[in-house]
A and B are shown apart, each in its own frame.
Chain A
Amino acid sequence: QQQVKQSPQSLIVQKGGISIINCAYENTAFDYFPWYQQFPGKGPALLIAIRPDVSEKKEGRFTISFNKSAKQFSLHIMDSQPGDSATYFCAATTVRGGSRLTFGEGTQLTVNP
């Protein structure tokens, strides 16, 4: 019940295209859903996050779509750039439960020039 399932495992997109990464969760107590970006040899960097009281959040080229009834959320990267090539992790937590993050398995994104 604590799992977060992420897909696809890897994704190749052309420059300028849209990258879409999906996550699904089971625990209905989760109430905070961040996305992290990780470059090789670096720590994960908080990219964007959403609470379940909204269905969409946009920051620059990054958008989270959230479907509470389906227990799914996704990251959309518009106008993908080669510099976006990294591993992306979705995560979930309960704010009042101590905030330990449960991560998805990760998606390795490659944006070809």
Chain B
Amino acid sequence: NAGVMQNPRHLVRRRGQEARLRCSPMKGHSHVYWYRQLPEEGLKFMVYLQKENIIDESGMPKERFSAEFPKEGPSILRIQQVVRGDSAAYFCASSILPGLRTYEQYFGPGTRLTVT
């Protein structure tokens, strides 16, 4: 049973470019969460999605950041016009179907974004 998969594991972008981070949840999981970990800091919630729906995006910066979780395929976190302050590790977590211990979240290995 594969865990949460994220790719790429490392991503280097120049200032002004776009970054696309992908997350495939664990099999049977339909909830996806994105968190950001800045260097030497804890994890901060960004967005919570279910298939085709954004449930909570209160942690997302208002500009340049967007997320989706289509009916088919992985969840995507998109950062437009990246700046150096976007350099961080981005983690995706998934949890199981509604009503079945949805509070247990399992994390992927993360994507480490470096903006040069």
Contact = CB atoms under 8 A, between A and B. Distances in A.
Answer yes or no: do A and B interact: yes
Interface of A: 6, 32, 34, 36, 42-46, 49, 89, 93, 95, 98-106
Contact of A106 (B42, B102, B103, B110): B42
Interface size class of B (residues with CB under 8 A): 20 to 34
B101 to A, nearest CB: 9
Contacts of B43: 44, 89, 101, 103
Given A100-B33, A100-B59, A45 B44 contact: no
A49 B42 CA distance: 18
A99 B41 contact: no
B91 interface: yes
Contacts of B91: 43-44
Most buried by B among A36, A44, A49, A95: A44
A-B pairs, 5 with minimum CB distance: A43-B107, A103-B42, A95-B103, A100-B45, A103-B43
Interface of B: 4, 6, 31, 33, 35, 41-45, 48, 55-56, 59, 91, 93, 95, 102-110
A44 B56 CA distance: 21
Contacts of B105: 34, 46, 99, 101
A37 to B, nearest CB: 11
B55 A98 contact: yes
